């Protein structure tokens, strides 16, 4: 009887978490936040039943809550939560829960926040835990994150080909809601290699796909990076086009309640006001 009750509680938690997950990736932070609080307010399940659900539902829900906290602008709170979630997942001694917590929440969130020392630490934990893991998704995501760190840390010549290969492998095996983010990092790598026309062409496709699939969680950042690439090609794109793209990105972020993106976009808009410059010497903020 108790076992059955726990299983029902886990199913309810899973259902609420899945609703929150869908809302998050569609950019609806209000619904995502409410659904995740409902999920975490539900009866606590015994961890002995986590295997039925592939990984611990409560830690998975907390991992999503940390991502919501980050994008709504509670960055400090999110960073503390990520550390707590990873520690809980390690203490559980259930590898799939740890891989999920790291690869789907902690690593992407720290990449977004730019706390690369945390990204490196979490990636080391993931690599150590999953090196003998036969499942493609964890291996390919690990490869993606390693390549992104190479690009972010100043070695795009090494990182871009590796990331391109890892993304191709990922596409061959699994669909992930992180695709828009991972592909935008690839575009940033192309830009770092001074391949701006190819970067912009690739990002146009990412932008179109994100809009078509209602994949809004990362959309303001896609548009912000697009504006920066346009800014780097003044012979093709007027300053007014750049400003328009940033304004659209800001509107999207405000509609969705993703204040983290809004602050980042506002910083770029302010730079345009401060240093419009002549077309040949315009200031182009870093793609990250």
Q: What is the model's pTM?
A: 0.88
E strand segments, the chain: none
The predicted model gives 183-197 an average pLDDT of: 97
Model confidence pLDDT, tens digit, residues 193-224: 999 999 999 999 999 999 999 999 999 999 99
Domain residue limits, the chain: 210-288
Model confidence pLDDT, tens digit, residues 105-147: 999 999 999 999 999 999 999 999 887 766 778 889 999 999 9
User: What does the H/E/C string look like for 145-184?
Assistant: HHHHHHHHCCCHHHHHHHHHHHHHHHHHHCCCCCHHHHHH
Q: 108, 178 in Cβ contact below 8 A?
A: yes
pLDDT value at 4 more than 60: no
Residue 188: its pLDDT value, please?
97
The predicted model gives 76-94 an average pLDDT of: 94
pLDDT value at 49 more than 70: no
């Amino acid at each position: 009887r108790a076992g059955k009750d726990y299983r029902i509680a886990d199913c309810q938690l899973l259902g609420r978490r899945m609703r929150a997950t869908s809302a998050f990736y569609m950019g609806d932070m209000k619904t995502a936040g409410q659904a995740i609080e409902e999920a975490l307010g539900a009866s606590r399940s015994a961890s002995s039943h986590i295997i039925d659900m592939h990984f611990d539902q409560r830690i998975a829900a907390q991992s999503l809550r940390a991502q919501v906290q980050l994008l709504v602008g509670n960055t400090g709170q999110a960073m503390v939560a990520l550390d707590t979630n990873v520690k809980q997942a390690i203490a559980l001694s259930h590898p799939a829960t740890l891989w999920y917590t790291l690869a789907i929440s902690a690593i992407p969130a720290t990449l977004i926040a730019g706390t690369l020392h945390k990204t490196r630490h979490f990636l080391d934990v993931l690599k150590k835990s999953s090196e003998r893991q036969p499942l493609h998704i964890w291996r390919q995501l690990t490869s993606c994150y390693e390549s992104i760190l190479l690009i972010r840390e100043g070695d795009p010549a090494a990182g871009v080909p590796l990331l391109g290969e890892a993304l191709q492998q990922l596409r061959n095996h699994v669909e992930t809601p992180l695709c828009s983010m991972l592909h935008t990092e690839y575009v940033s790598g192309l830009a770092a290699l001074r391949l701006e026309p190819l970067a912009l062409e690739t990002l146009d496709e990412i932008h179109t796909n994100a809009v078509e699939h209602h994949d809004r969680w990362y959309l303001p950042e896609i548009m912000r990076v697009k504006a920066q690439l346009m800014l780097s090609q003044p012979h093709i794109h007027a300053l007014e086009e750049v400003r328009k793209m940033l304004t659209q990105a800001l509107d999207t972020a405000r509609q969705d309640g993703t204040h983290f993106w809004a602050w980042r976009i506002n910083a770029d808009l302010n730079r345009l006001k401060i240093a419009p410059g002549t077309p040949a010497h315009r200031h182009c903020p870093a793609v990250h």
